[in-house]
Structure 1
Amino acid sequence: MGGQGTLSRQLVLRVTALVAAVAIALSALTALAVNQILTDQLDQQLRSTGQRLRDPGTRGPLKPAGDPGQIQGLLRYIPDIGGIIQEGRDYTALTVEQTAPLDELTTTGPLTVHLPGVGSYRVQVISVGGTAMAIGLPTASLTATMLSLLLAATALTLTTIVAAFWAARAVVERSLRPLAQLAETARTVSALDLHSGEVAVPVRVPDSGLAPTNEVAQVGAALNVMLDNVEGALAARQHSETKLRQFVADASHELRNPLASIRGYAELTRRERADVPETTAHALGRIESESERMSGLVNDLLLLARLDSGPTLQARPVSMGALLANAVSDAEAAGPGHRWELTLPDEEVLALGDESRVQQIVANLLGNARTHTPAGTLVQTALAREGAWAVVTVTDNGPGIPENIRDRVFERFMRADTSRVRTGSGQSTGLGLAIVAAVVGAHGGQVGVESRPGFTRFTVRLPLVR
């Protein structure tokens, strides 16, 4: 039935509590009614006994034992004379202490009086031949009957409560089954990966067989309509993303040829730049530099487009130690103003991946540290083995990444202009870290970042060769 706070459990407990309250109330009322009926019967018997004692043939003081017409257990008491209890043909005389409660009677009764050492009696005061006499009948049989009745009522009440619990549980579970199907459908949909790619919503709320006017059936139908709309929206989004990726890939591909021509012509002018004005030579140099940057941007866009459309990686064992040593050496040559450190483990670490792409991951991380930190920054690269992962970390003591963009640094065209210092002649395209995330994801790895002022660390996990 689920946890303590589930609707089904609450309904079962409340129905059971209601049935228990009704059953207990009925048992109590029944016991009170039976007690009153038995008491009335005993009072009627007591009145009949008193009427016989008033007859002329039975007048006088207390009669001896065995007198005809006497009722077994009959109590008779006359003040200043004494009292007896008739038991068959015998009688028992009462002591002064036992009859003391009878002397305190203020009404003629009938009422219940407890006599010490004798028990409870239903007592009435009558007049026999002008003499006041208290007569009484024992309530032992009434008490025994009521005790048996209470035991039977208790057993019946407990049986009713248990039966009500199981019956309520069965009825509630059957009634809430369509609602449970709604919840299961919602949980299944919430577990689907809907953020990107070709996405379908294969689940729907099954037909519960309820009438269309039923509230649960209406919610189920509305949820199915909503899921249809979500699936349509996801399909439209995927179609739009596919067209956009295709456009980026086509545009990047078409731009490569004219950019290559621009770079070629710019390079041809180098031999003649000494014969042209200084401003023209500077302009030609800038054209060559910017064409190189645009070529890099186009190549990055093409790479991302290929990764989005389904990467084709040539996975083979990659010696991570040698790869990192080469990458750090290249970074040191490109950024002599920074301090570069490399820490490698004693044992060889082999990752499973495409070596050129893994090289690109490390080069982009090192290039990011070089571009966004000032000269003199310490950049530490380390390699370690953690479980089934080869772990690469690139740490710098630069200004850090602003908190408002820290969670979005792997998005495309994301730049940290407001905090990280730019150096070098070129400008970042904002695609370096996006390529890192895409390539790592294509390898089935993980990438993350942690940063604060004076500390930034990128962590890449790639699967080890098994």
Structure 2
Amino acid sequence: MRTKLVAAMVTLLAVAFLVVGVTTVVTLNNALYDRIDSQLRSAAGRVPTNDDQQTNCAMPRHNEFPLGQAIGTVSVRVCDGRITNADILVEKGQQEPDLTPFTSTFLGVPGGAAPRTYDLGELGPYRMVGHTKPDGAVLITGLPLAETQQTLYLLVAVIAGVTVLALISVGFAGAFIVRRTLAPLSRIASTATRVSQLRLDRGEVELAQRVADPDTDPRTEVGQVGAALNRMLDHVGSALESRHASEMQVRQFVADASHELRTPLAAIRGYAELSRRSREPVPPELAHMLRRVESEAQRMTALVEDLLLLARIDAGRKLAHGPVDLSMLVVDAVSDAHAAGPKHLWQLDLPEEPVIVTGDKTRLHQVIANLLANARTHTPEGTSVTVGVTTQGERATLTVTDTGPGIPAELLPTIFERFARGDSSRSRQDGSTGLGLAIVQAVVTAQGGTIAVDSAPGRTEFTVRLPLNKNMAQS
């Protein structure tokens, strides 16, 4: 906007200078030419007295210029289509130039017409007029235009120079003035930029950024913008506080409910196991129902534990940070996955040296186990699952790649959300809470890492990046 304002200012000034300059030059040009024409008519009337008394065009005439004629004045007499006299007034001692080459030009000057401009070659432009005498001769008088044109050229140069200097000065001065005038708007934009860089989607947000009071003057347009931005930030801050309070209530409820449910679920599982160990015979139908109760209690216990873990991470509870052998965790997790899914093809792609990362060993094991369980649950038997570990810079990269049917494109944007489930193309055989990948993302993020997924039919790859242990990174 500053550039546009300065450009508009300079353009308008240039147009104004152009109009004034053209008007001045045209006016002066007309005035100078009118003055020369007046001098030309006056000079044409100054002829020797005996010239007016002649009645024979061919008789010899007086060859001297009358007094008061300007240096460079041309006097030519044309009689019966031929030139009888052709003289030019020069300073005393100077040689009179030859006018013979311009005979055709002189013969073309009509008598009694208005003054016109003619080019006399090296003598330059001349303003000439023809005056018919009583004897029929045409007396042509001409005045040089060199000084007049030099005056006009000088005026054009002066106007152009002044215009250029003025435009440059106005450009710099305008840029300074516009920059200073719009400085409050820049400060408002800086405030809006700082707000845009805040993470507003989760957690407690301290929206303390505001436009300074000097930039909220309602008497100015910029001040009105600043005041409106402050009001908007006040509303947004209030909404964020309300949202955070609501989230905290929900998280606290989930945490409390999960904690409280652990005891009755443990009791249900205990009584179910105890009933199966009873010495008294139990009818087969009742035994089946007790096994189902125990199985669902176990599943619900896992769901409660997952919800409690997510609630604790959401509440900002710090996880353990220590050196963890990621390679060994992968080996153990793949071994467990092979036991749970022996009909899948499990493969390892590990470096020769162990990869040590910084994090919580238990939670990182849970991350790997969840990814492998996701691959085993949502792919058919015989699918190849490859787990790889590499290092790059200060990061370790864990990849879990399967050759299954892939994740539906419409599910990819929400794959890490809680209770997200795939469609029939990735149907599960075992019970799933829909929290596995949500826990993976929450744990990885809490450990300072990132997770991404890339999926197409025949290949799905989850990529987890974790910070390397500082000692390993330095080595």
Q: Aligning the two structures, in what range does the TM-score lie when normalised by the shorter sequence? A: over 0.9
Deviations 1:1-42 (A, max 9, x none): xxxxxx111121121111112112211221121122221222
Partners of 1:200 and 1:383 in 2: CA distance? 39
Partners of 1:350 and 1:88 in 2: CA distance? 106
Deviations 1:46-98 (A, max 9, x none): 22222322756876665334764443222111113131112134773754431
Shifted more, 455-464 versus 414-423: the winner is 414-423
Partners of 1:302 and 1:69 in 2: CA distance? 117
Residues 188 and 203, structure 1, Cα contact 8 Å, conserved in 2:
yes
2:473 corresponds to: none
Partners of 1:428 and 1:185 in 2: CA distance? 46
Unaligned ranges ≥5, structure 2: 55-59, 471-475
Unaligned ranges ≥5, structure 1: 1-6
- SS, match of residue 46 in structure 2: helix
- SS, match of residue 143 in structure 2: strand
1:324 corresponds to: 330
Partners of 1:88 and 1:417 in 2: CA distance? 111
Residue type of the alignment partner of 1:369: A
Shifted more, 90-99 versus 39-48: the winner is 90-99
Stretches (4+) displaced over 3 A: 54-71, 88-97, 127-131, 207-211
- SS, match of residue 451 in structure 1: strand
The within-5 A match list for 1:58-77 is 62-65=61-64, 68-77=67-76
Cα shift at 1:209 = 5.4
Shifted more, 200-209 versus 355-364: the winner is 200-209
Shifted more, 226-235 versus 66-75: the winner is 66-75
TM-score of the aligned structures, taking structure 1 as reference length = 0.93
Structure 1 residues 376, 250: CA separation in 2 closer, same or farther (over 3 Å shift)? same
Partners of 1:76 and 1:128 in 2: CA distance? 14
- SS, match of residue 105 in structure 1: coil
Partners of 2:61 and 2:269 in 1: CA distance? 142
Are 1:119 and 2:150 counterparts?
A: no
Are 1:30 and 2:24 counterparts?
A: yes
1:293 corresponds to: 299
Are 1:385 and 2:391 counterparts?
A: yes
2:85 corresponds to: 82
Cα shift at 1:261 = 0.7
1:3 corresponds to: none
Residue type of the alignment partner of 2:8: R
Residues 85 and 91, structure 1, Cα contact 8 Å, conserved in 2:
no
Residues 109 and 129, structure 2, Cα contact 8 Å, conserved in 1:
no
TM-score of the aligned structures, taking structure 2 as reference length = 0.91
Residues 46 and 136, structure 1, Cα contact 8 Å, conserved in 2:
yes
Deviations 1:171-191 (A, max 9, x none): 322332232223222222111
Partners of 2:97 and 2:195 in 1: CA distance? 89
Partners of 2:374 and 2:405 in 1: CA distance? 13
- SS, match of residue 277 in structure 2: helix
| 1:100 equivalent among 101, 104, 107 | 104
The within-5 A match list for 1:363-402 is 363-402=369-408
The within-5 A match list for 1:341-380 is 341-380=347-386
Structure 1 residues 46, 431: CA separation in 2 closer, same or farther (over 3 Å shift)? same
| 1:411 equivalent among 417, 420, 428 | 417
| 1:215 equivalent among 215, 221, 231 | 221
1:306 corresponds to: 312
Partners of 2:403 and 2:296 in 1: CA distance? 30
The within-5 A match list for 1:140-155 is 140-155=146-161
Are 1:465 and 2:469 counterparts?
A: yes
2:449 corresponds to: 445
Residues 374 and 423, structure 1, Cα contact 8 Å, conserved in 2:
no
1:431 corresponds to: 435
1:4 corresponds to: none
Partners of 1:206 and 1:335 in 2: CA distance? 63
Partners of 2:363 and 2:40 in 1: CA distance? 110
Deviations 1:196-220 (A, max 9, x none): 1110222122234575243332222
1:52 corresponds to: 46
- The total of aligned residue pairs comes to 458
2:12 corresponds to: 18
Cα shift at 1:270 = 1.1
Residues 440 and 447, structure 1, Cα contact 8 Å, conserved in 2:
yes
- SS, match of residue 403 in structure 1: coil
CA-atom RMSD in angstroms: 2.1
Partners of 2:22 and 2:50 in 1: CA distance? 45
Identity of counterpart residues, as a percentage? 44
Residues 98 and 117, structure 1, Cα contact 8 Å, conserved in 2:
no
Residue type of the alignment partner of 1:401: I
Cα shift at 1:423 = 1.7
Shifted more, 96-105 versus 239-248: the winner is 96-105
Shifted more, 210-219 versus 182-191: the winner is 210-219
